[in-house]
Amino acid sequence: MIVKEFRELLRDRRTLGLLVGLPLILLVIFGYAANFYVDHVSAAVVGPQAEQVAASLPELFEVETVDADATDADARDLLRDDEVDVAIVTGSGAPTALIDGSNLFAAQTILGAVNATAGKIEPEVLYNPDLTTAWVMVPAIIGLILTFIGTIVTSIGLVREREAGTLEQLAVMPIKPGTVILGKIAPYFLLAAIDMAVVTVLGMLLFDVPFNGNVLVFALGAAIFLFAVLGIGVFISTISQTAGQAIQSAFFVLLPQILLSGMIFPLDAMAAGVRWIGYILPLTYFTKISQGVMLRGAGIDSLWPSFVVLTVMAVVIFTAATLRFRRDLAPERKVRA
Amino acid sequence: MTFGVEDVSVTFGDTTALRDVTIEVPAGTVVAVVGGDGAGKTTLLRTLVREASPDAGRVSAPAKAELGFLPASSGSWAALTVAQNLDFAAGAYGLTGAARDERRSELLAAADLTAAKDRLASQLSGGMRRKLGFLMAIVHRPGLVVLDEPSTGVDPVSRVDLWRLIAQEAASGAAVIMSTTYLDEAERAGHLVVLDGGEVLVQGSYDEVRATFSGTVTSASTPVREAWSWRRGHDRHEYWPDDDASADREVVAPDLEDIVIALSLVRRLAGVSA
């Protein structure tokens, strides 16, 4: 029995990968990425005393902008556009540190450092004044839910056709492969969109999470992100013969998105060796968009880099996945019939 | 209208699934393809419906709209009802509205499934589900109907029902080709094709196949040459390709099962002394 089990296991590459790869992935992630401590924050110092104040800041602050002519409004714009984690506004009185509360761990670190100045700098937390964890997590959780539906539910739905043999039936029917793919994906797209709306509204009602930005910008980001994760789901379905295999494969995709997208551990606090993984994950960019729109009221003008990256990802992943799926529906002709 | 394949060869990697196969499927005829596991039956049918690509040869099949296909799997969606499955298939072929409703009622009545029209396909018996799959394949009155082992796993009563439906479809003018592992079914087909190792061993009507079969089949409790024998009931039948059976052997009139096995042995044991 034991020998039989080992023989089966050695031929089940996915389970083997899960057994061998997962501990390694978890070890690497928790060793290098699981870090809540932020040891540097990006800062801007504006106003008449900018030079002097910038020079006196603790090492924690990596001053990127010093502008004596800039105003309080300019400082707030820098924060809203996610240019810096903190903007210090100098003037006649004590400087005010405007802290981006949507970047939770950085904000907590900055607040600690500012409080340690014993009143020399006054803190003002924007976008998340009480540094409530739920305010930061809810926009990220929306992305996670979309990822779950787009990746796991979609891939299982598609693999079920293969398992039941009905994919073959569809391939023979006079339905274009593109129509089959669209027909299979559209319900999941719609369900994910409804889920997203429900979670967003519930998050606002239950946890008082604000929605400061434009709903259309948020919806556009979500739609692009959905195409990316649906593409991953379709791709997984093309490399899986059973629902079990699809779930195993989806697990490999979901785990890094949860742990390395910045939704739990701040990207800035991760070791560079694993941080790059976070930057190739779609959820990283959707989280930037959802937190930016909901908490900071950011618009396309400041979020466009995330939109561009997400769009490129969505186009590449979705196209590659649907081309693979089409191949299952319409095999390439070796000889013209 | 005659469909079929001509000198078709299909390979998957290093494996030759079909080699120089030529088969005709005339309108109004049921062609039964028989053969053991790995004989190439499914590949032949998949080639006809353009799901497998030939490396060589010519495939003559109608456009998808004129093609009906029942795969070896159930051929229906488990979470849809009988009526919903039929409606989906009808819709895929452009049959909608009153015409669809009329066709659905007609087919359900013919297959004795009217009472089960609101049952989920997953709740049907194996035979009922295969009948549903068959109805879905013919809902649009296709010119060519391709059925991959429609009666495998189906109880004898349902098999009779299924055969009646298949025969009716051919009688109405469709060209029907089906694979089967049941030789009694194949005998009833207008034309049968015996495949082995991707090659056609023999084809024609049952009478033609019997008439062209040469050699002698004998029956005894112990065979003279084990390799050329097979079990039939309590005895073993033995094939003598050169009609040189031992005088003490009882000669039997070969049925289709004997013919299929004998021809397969000739192919496999080529070069072995008979």
Q: Which two tokens stand for residue B225?
A: 């040459």
Query: How far apart (Å, rounded) are the C-alpha atoms in residues B208 and B192?
Result: 10
Partners of A168 on chain B (C-beta within 8 Å) are: 51, 69, 71, 73
Residue A88 contacts residue A45 (beta carbons within 8 Å) = yes
A199: pLDDT strictly greater than 80: yes
Query: How far apart (Å, rounded) are the C-alpha atoms in residues A145 and A290?
Result: 13
Q: Mean pLDDT lowest for which of A79-83, A296-300, A330-334, B152-156?
A: A330-334
The continuous run of DSSP H or E covering B24 comes out as strand B15-26
- pTM value is 0.80
Specify the pLDDT at position A36.
Answer: 78
Specify the pLDDT at position B42.
Answer: 93
Query: How far apart (Å, rounded) are the C-alpha atoms in residues A196 and A138?
Result: 11
- On whether any CB of chain A is under 8 Å from the CB of B93, the answer is yes
DSSP string over A110-167? HHHHHHTTTTSSEEEEESSTT--HHHHHHHHHHHHHHHIIIIIIHHHHHHHHHHHTHH
Write out the residues of chain A at the interface with chain B, using a CB-CB cutoff of 8 A. Answer: 164-166, 168-169, 171-175, 331-335, 337
A197: pLDDT strictly greater than 70: yes
Residue A270 contacts residue A278 (beta carbons within 8 Å) = yes
Query: How far apart (Å, rounded) are the C-alpha atoms in residues A326 and A302?
Result: 37
A335: pLDDT strictly greater than 50: no
Q: Give the A:B interface size as CB pairs under 8 Å.
A: 63
Task: Specify the 3-state DSSP secondary structure of B214.
Answer: coil
- Going by the DSSP 8-state scheme, the letter that residue B123 receives in this structure is G
Other Cβ atoms less than 10 A from the Cβ of B6: the count is 14
What ipTM was assigned to the predicted interfaces of this complex? 0.85
Specify the pLDDT at position B75.
Answer: 80
Tell me which residues of chain B, numbers 158 to 217, contact chain A at a CB-CB cutoff of 8 Å. none
* Class of residue B165 by CB neighbours under 10 A (exposed 0-12, middle 13-18, buried 19+): middle
Residue A293 contacts residue A213 (beta carbons within 8 Å) = yes
Other Cβ atoms less than 10 A from the Cβ of A45: the count is 30
Specify the pLDDT at position A4.
Answer: 85
Q: Look at B53 and A168 and tell me if their CB atoms are within 8 Å.
A: no
A202: pLDDT strictly greater than 80: yes
Q: 3-class secondary structure for B31-55?
A: EEEECCCCCCHHHHHHHHCCCCCCC
Q: Tell me the pLDDT band of B272, cut-offs 50, 70 and 90.
A: very low
Specify the pLDDT at position A305.
Answer: 94
Residue A33 contacts residue A259 (beta carbons within 8 Å) = yes
Q: Mean pLDDT lowest for which of A164-168, B86-90, B173-177?
A: A164-168
Provide the phi-psi class of A38: left if phi over 0, else alpha when psi is between -120 and 50, else beta.
beta
* Mutation for testing the A interface, residue in B20, B44, B51 having most A CBs under 10 Å: B51
Q: Mean pLDDT lowest for which of A4-13, A21-30, A244-253?
A: A21-30
Please state whether beta strands B56-60 and B15-26 pair in parallel, antiparallel, or not at all (unpaired). unpaired
Specify the pLDDT at position A337.
Answer: 37
Kindly report, as residue ranges, where domains of CATH 3.40.50.300 are found in chain B. Answer: 2-204
Q: Look at A174 and B75 and tell me if their CB atoms are within 8 Å.
A: no
Question: Which residue type is seen at A165?
Answer: G
Q: Look at A169 and B69 and tell me if their CB atoms are within 8 Å.
A: yes
Give Rg (Cα) of chain A: 24
Closest by CA position to B150, among listed B174, B132, B168 = B132
Give me the percent of chain A exceeding a pLDDT of 70.
Answer: 98
Q: Look at B58 and A337 and tell me if their CB atoms are within 8 Å.
A: yes
Ordered by start, the domain boundaries in chain A are: 41-126, 133-329
Share the mean pLDDT of chain B.
91
Assess if CATH 3.40.50.150 describes domain B2-204: no
Query: How far apart (Å, rounded) are the C-alpha atoms in residues A112 and A85?
Result: 14
User: What would the pLDDT profile of A47-60 be if each residue is shown by its tens digit?
Assistant: 998 998 998 888 88
Other Cβ atoms less than 10 A from the Cβ of B189: the count is 24
Partners of B60 on chain A (C-beta within 8 Å) are: 337
Partners of A166 on chain B (C-beta within 8 Å) are: 71, 73-77
HSE on the CB side for A1, CA within 13 Å?
0
Give Rg (Cα) of chain B: 21
- Partnered with residue A86 across adjacent β-strands are A43, A99
Query: How far apart (Å, rounded) are the C-alpha atoms in residues B266 and B217?
Result: 13
Partners of B59 on chain A (C-beta within 8 Å) are: 337
B273: pLDDT strictly greater than 50: no
Q: Look at B54 and A164 and tell me if their CB atoms are within 8 Å.
A: no
HSE on the CB side for B153, CA within 13 Å?
13
pLDDT, average across residues B120-134: 92
pLDDT, average across residues A8-34: 81
Query: How far apart (Å, rounded) are the C-alpha atoms in residues B144 and A180?
Result: 23
- Name the closest residue on chain A to residue B75, using Cα atoms: A166
B252: pLDDT strictly greater than 60: yes
Helix axes A243-260, A282-291, angle to 10 degrees: 50
Backbone angles phi, psi at B84, to 5 degrees: -65, -40
HSE on the CB side for B165, CA within 13 Å?
32
- Name the closest residue on chain A to residue B6, using Cα atoms: A337
User: What would the pLDDT profile of A298-312 be if each residue is shown by its tens digit?
Assistant: 999 999 999 999 999
User: What would the pLDDT profile of A79-112 be if each residue is shown by its tens digit?
Assistant: 999 899 999 999 888 899 999 998 888 999 999 9
Query: How far apart (Å, rounded) are the C-alpha atoms in residues B195 and B224?
Result: 27
Q: Look at B53 and A335 and tell me if their CB atoms are within 8 Å.
A: yes
Q: Pick the residue with more confidence: B48 or B269?
A: B48
- In whole angstroms, how far apart are CA A256 and each of A35, A49, A146, A277, B34? 15, 44, 15, 8, 51
Residue with tokens 């004898």: B156
Query: How far apart (Å, rounded) are the C-alpha atoms in residues B115 and A141?
Result: 48
Partners of B43 on chain A (C-beta within 8 Å) are: none
Query: How far apart (Å, rounded) are the C-alpha atoms in residues A154 and B13?
Result: 31
Q: Look at A171 and B51 and tell me if their CB atoms are within 8 Å.
A: yes
User: What would the pLDDT profile of A267-323 be if each residue is shown by its tens digit?
Assistant: 877 888 888 888 999 999 999 999 999 999 999 999 999 999 999 999 999 999 988
A252: pLDDT strictly greater than 50: yes
Specify the pLDDT at position B271.
Answer: 52
For Cα atoms A295, A296, A301, give the angle at the middle one, nearest 5 degrees: 130
Q: Tell me the pLDDT band of B103, cut-offs 50, 70 and 90.
A: very high
